[in-house]
Structure 1
Amino acid sequence: MRRLITSAIAATLLLGVAACGSTDDTADGDGGSGGPDRVKVGAIPIVDVAPLYLGKEKGFFRDRGIELDVVNTTGGAAAVPGVVSGEFDFAFGNVVSLVLARSQRLPLKAIAVGNSSTGKADADFGGIVVPPGSPIQTAADLAGRTVAVNNLRNVGDTTVRASIRKAGGDATKVRFVELPFPDMPAAVAAKRVDAAWIVEPFFTVARNQGARMIAANFVDTAPNMTVAAYFTTEKTIAEKGDLTRRFAAAIETSLKYATEHPDEARKILLSYTKIEPAVTEQITLPAWPTEINRESVPVMADLMVTDGLLKEKVDVSELLP
C-alpha cells in the first residue's frame, strides 16, 4: 500500500494533480454539449457500494446530469492514486486509506458517506472468520496466526488489531497477508490462512462453507463506525464544484433509497458481483446513513498511530466534508 501511495504522490508532483477527472474542466454543468457529464467512479465490487449501482439504475445520477461509469478497484488503497492521477473523477474508499493519503499531503476530501457498520456485533456486514474445526475461539487467539485482509496496512488489519486488543490478545504478533475478498472463502475453507477479515457478500459465502465468525471487528473498533466515503481531490471540488455537488446529492439520494428498499439493494448485487441469487437473500446489509459519523474517524486515526501506519496524528477535519 505504501508503494501505491508513493505512486500517487509521484503523480501529484508530475501532474500537479492535473486532469483530476474524465470530464472536461470547462464543462461543470451539462457536459458542454447539452448532454450529461460523463463521470468515472472507482469502487470495489462488494455489497458496500450497492447504493451506487442502485442509484445508477434508478436514474438518480442521470436526473442530475451525470452519466455514470463505475470501474472496479481492489480497495481504497488502489482508489486513492486513481483519483489523484485523474483515472477516476470520484471514488469509494475506506477511512484508513483516506487518512493515510491526507498524511502524505495528498489533497483529497470526502464528499459523501459511503457506508457504516450496523453497530450490532451479531449482525454486522463483515467480521473475522476462521475455518471449520479451528482451535481459535476469540480474537485474542489470533496472536501468532496468519490473517487475510484485502489490503495490507489498511482498514482490515487496523480493525482486526482493535478486536485483538479488546479480547486481551497481543495485536503485534499477527501476520497479515493480502487476498482479494472473492478469494477469501476458498482460502479459509482450505485452511491456507488461519483467519480472514471478510465482508459481504463473501462473508456469507464463507459461513455457508463452514467458516465461523469469532469477532465483529468494526463493532469492536467504534460505535456505528463510518467505514468508507466517496471522495475526490480539492482541485475537482474547486474547479467542478457544481458537478461535485450534483454527484454528492445523487449519492445521498441513492443511500437513502437503498436503506428504504433493502430488497432492491440485494437484487442489484447480481449486476456487479458473481454470487448466487440465494446468497443475496442471506447477507447482512451495511448501514447506509446520509452523514459521516465524525466521532468515529478520529478513533481510526488514533489507532493508525498506535499501529505505526502514521508517525503522528492527522487533522481529520481537513478530510471531512
Structure 2
Amino acid sequence: MRRPLTALAAGAFLVTASACGSSGDPGAAESGSSSGGTTTVELGLIPIVDVAPVYLGQKKGFYGKHGLKLRISTASGGAAIVPGVASGQFQFGFSNVTSLLLARSSGVPVKAVSNGIASTGLRGKDFAGIAVKKDSPVKSAKDLEGKKVAINTLKNINESAVRESVRKDGGDPDKVKFVELAFDQMPAALDGGQVDAVCAVEPALATIKSQGGQVIASPMVDVAANTTVALYFTSTRYQQQHPDVVKKFQAATAESLAYADAHPDEARQVITTYTKIPASVLAQVTLPKWPAEPNRESVEALARLGEQDGFFKKAPDVDALLP
C-alpha cells in the first residue's frame, strides 16, 4: 500500500499552480478511479505518528464504508506532497500548516478538508521536540545560535517553530544553521554528530530518547497553547469537480480521527505497520492529539510567524485555506 514519493522541491509550487489552471480532461489520475461503487484515491502521507488515524481507519473499514479505497504514497515532508496534490498526482495529501500557507501565498490553489493533528500543549511532553545528543553543550533553545539544526523541510512549520523557541529563549533565530533531513534519518545523524540538534517528531523522537538524547524545547508549544500542526487537503479544482468524493473522505477521516483519539493503544500499535520502530521503543512514543477541528488561533499564529521570518511572498489567506 505504501509507495515512496519522489521528493519535489518547494519551488515546484509555481509550476503546479499553472498546471492546476490548465484546461482539458483531468484524466483518471486526477479524478480517481471507480470500480463497483468504490472510488480509489491517491493519498500522500509522511510515515510518522501523525497519520496513524488514517492507517487505523483503513484497518477498521471506515474508508471502505464510505466507498473509498486509499492508495498511499509517502514523502519526507508536506512540502513535497503539496505539488503532487496541486498537479493532480494525488487527490488528497497531508501537510503541515506552514507549508500549506506557503502554497496559498504562492498562488497554489489548495484547500484543507479535514483536521490532521494538534500538539499536546504540554511542554516537555509533546510529540515534537528539539533534541540534542547526550552530554551536548546545547542546553536550551538560545544555545542553538551558530549550531546546525536538522528539520525535515526548510521553511515549514518545524523551522518556524524552532525559530520561535529560539526567539522566546532570548536568542537570534537568524543565527541558527538549518539543514534538511528526513525524520527517520535524524536519530543516526544526531548520534553520529553530523548535526548539533534536530527538530524531530514521533517515532523518531522516541528513538532519539532511547539513545540517551535529551529534549531541550517543545517548539509546537512555543507557537501556541494548542497548535494545529497539520491538515489533510486537496486541490480547489478537485474539490469543485468531485465534491462527493471530498465529502466521503472528510467523513471517513473524521471517524478515523475520533477513533484514534479514543483508542490510543490501537493507534500506537498501528504505527508498527508503516514505520520501522522497534517494539521496545514503541511504548515511549508520545502521541499527538487528534481533535475534530483545527485551532484557528494557532493557524493565524503560524501565518504571523511565517510573515515575520520572510517565508511568504504575501500574507496568506487563512480563511481560504481552512475547511
Q: Give the alignment's TM-score, normalised by structure 2.
A: 0.94
Tell me the SS of whatever aligns to 1:192.
coil
Aligned partner of 1:262 among 251, 264, 269: 264
Q: Is the aligned partner of 1:124 residue 2:131?
A: no
1:102/1:108 contact within 8 Å kept: yes
Question: Following TM superposition, where does structure 1 have runs of at least 4 consecutive aligned residues deviating by more than 6 angstroms?
Answer: none
1:109/1:320 contact within 8 Å kept: yes
Which range is displaced more, 225-234 or 182-191? 182-191
* Structure 1 gap ranges (5+): none
2 CA distance for matches of 1:121 and 1:89? 35
Partner of 1:168: 170
Closer/same/farther in 2, CA of residues 214 and 79 from structure 1, 3 Å limit: same
2:30/2:89 contact within 8 Å kept: no
1:224/1:293 contact within 8 Å kept: yes
2 CA distance for matches of 1:185 and 1:191? 10
Q: Is the aligned partner of 1:11 residue 2:12?
A: no
Aligned partner of 1:68 among 58, 66, 70: 70
Aligned partner of 1:106 among 86, 108, 131: 108
2:210/2:281 contact within 8 Å kept: no
2 CA distance for matches of 1:208 and 1:155? 25
Partner of 2:208: 206
Listed one character per residue, the Cα deviations across residues 91-131 of structure 1 (whole Å, up to 9, x for unaligned) are 00000110000001111110001100000012100100011
1:17/1:84 contact within 8 Å kept: no
Tell me the SS of whatever aligns to 1:284.
coil
2 CA distance for matches of 1:41 and 1:262? 23
Partner of 1:153: 155
Closer/same/farther in 2, CA of residues 4 and 95 from structure 1, 3 Å limit: same
Partner of 2:29: 22
> How many angstroms does 1:15 deviate by?
5.2
Partner of 2:223: 221
Tell me the SS of whatever aligns to 2:216.
strand
1:83/1:89 contact within 8 Å kept: yes
Closer/same/farther in 2, CA of residues 280 and 17 from structure 1, 3 Å limit: farther
Q: Is the aligned partner of 1:247 residue 2:254?
A: no
2:97/2:230 contact within 8 Å kept: yes
Q: Following superposition of structure 1 onto structure 2, how do residues 89-104 of structure 1 map, counting pairs within 5 Å?
A: 89-104=91-106
> How many angstroms does 1:200 deviate by?
0.3
2 CA distance for matches of 1:10 and 1:316? 22
Tell me the SS of whatever aligns to 1:115.
strand
1:94/1:227 contact within 8 Å kept: yes
Tell me the SS of whatever aligns to 1:102.
helix
> How many angstroms does 1:84 deviate by?
1.1
Residue type of the partner of 2:15?
A: A
2:152/2:181 contact within 8 Å kept: yes
2 CA distance for matches of 1:61 and 1:217? 33
Q: Report sequence identity in percent.
A: 46
Listed one character per residue, the Cα deviations across residues 141-180 of structure 1 (whole Å, up to 9, x for unaligned) are 1111110000011111110000001111111100000111
The aligned length equals 314
> How many angstroms does 1:214 deviate by?
0.4
2:17/2:107 contact within 8 Å kept: no
Q: Give the alignment's TM-score, normalised by structure 1.
A: 0.94
Closer/same/farther in 2, CA of residues 238 and 64 from structure 1, 3 Å limit: same
Residue type of the partner of 1:91?
A: G
1:110/1:231 contact within 8 Å kept: yes
Tell me the SS of whatever aligns to 1:144.
coil
Tell me the SS of whatever aligns to 1:305.
helix
Partner of 1:187: 189
2:30/2:90 contact within 8 Å kept: no
Superposed CA RMSD: 1.5
> How many angstroms does 1:21 deviate by?
6.9
2:16/2:108 contact within 8 Å kept: no
Residue type of the partner of 1:11?
A: T
Partner of 2:5: none
Partner of 2:314: 312
1:297/1:316 contact within 8 Å kept: yes
Residue type of the partner of 1:64?
A: H
2 CA distance for matches of 1:15 and 1:198? 33
